[in-house]
């Protein structure tokens, strides 16, 4: 656990400092360079201040920047938490919608099956009705049923019609209708 401690030299402002670090030496050099840049910026804006006052003012600026960064970090974490909560709510809604979708799909299959059953029953009924109508039509076309006796004729019946013609002289009188009487 003992990390090696390294010493580096860094110039901040007009003074060179001997710094020690257990972290990456380049990272410490970068931090020292940032501090030097802040000191130069304060010296440029306020050249009348001595080096100690410039260092204090640069420190105040650095703490202010750190506070802003911390607030941005807090806001980013709050946004991340909100995004995670929203994502969780969306996942829950997605699960609910999937369940609803499957329920609707099951109902659709049930009703589709029910429609097929009813269509089958309706087609069977339609066939029965068609058969009944065909039977009725056949009966209507046939008229009344003729019995065997209706088709049979005796000699007297057959000759009877010709005897009547002979008695009247072979001619039968036809009824005369008067057209004039109708008007």
pLDDT in tens, 71-117: 999 999 999 999 999 999 999 999 999 999 999 999 999 999 999 99
Is the Cα torsion angle 115, 121, 125, 126 positive or negative in sign?
positive
Taking 70 as the pLDDT cut, the residues of the chain under it are 1-3, 136-153, 161-183
d(CA 172, CA 165): 6
d(CA 25, CA 6): 7
Q: What is the pTM for the complete model shown?
A: 0.48
Nearby residues of 61 by Cβ (< 8 Å), 6 or more positions away:
38, 41, 42
């Amino acid at each position: 656990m003992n990390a090696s401690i390294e010493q580096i030299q860094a110039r901040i402002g007009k003074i060179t400092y001997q710094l020690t670090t257990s972290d990456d030496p380049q990272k410490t050099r970068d931090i020292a360079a940032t501090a030097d840049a802040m000191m130069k910026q304060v010296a440029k804006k306020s050249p009348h201040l001595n080096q100690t006052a410039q260092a204090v003012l640069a420190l105040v600026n650095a703490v202010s920047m750190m506070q802003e960064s911390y607030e941005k970090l807090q806001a980013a974490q709050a946004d991340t938490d909100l995004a995670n909560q929203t994502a969780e709510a969306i996942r829950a809604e997605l699960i609910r919608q999937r369940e609803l979708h499957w329920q609707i799909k099951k109902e659709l299959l049930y009703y589709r099956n029910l429609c097929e059953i009813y269509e089958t029953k309706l087609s069977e009924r339609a066939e029965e009705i068609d058969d009944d109508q065909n039977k009725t039509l056949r009966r209507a076309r046939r008229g009344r049923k003729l019995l065997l006796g209706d088709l049979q004729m005796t000699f007297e019946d057959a000759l009877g019609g010709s005897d009547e013609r002979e008695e009247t002289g072979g001619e039968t009188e036809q009824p005369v209708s008067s057209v004039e009487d109708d008007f």
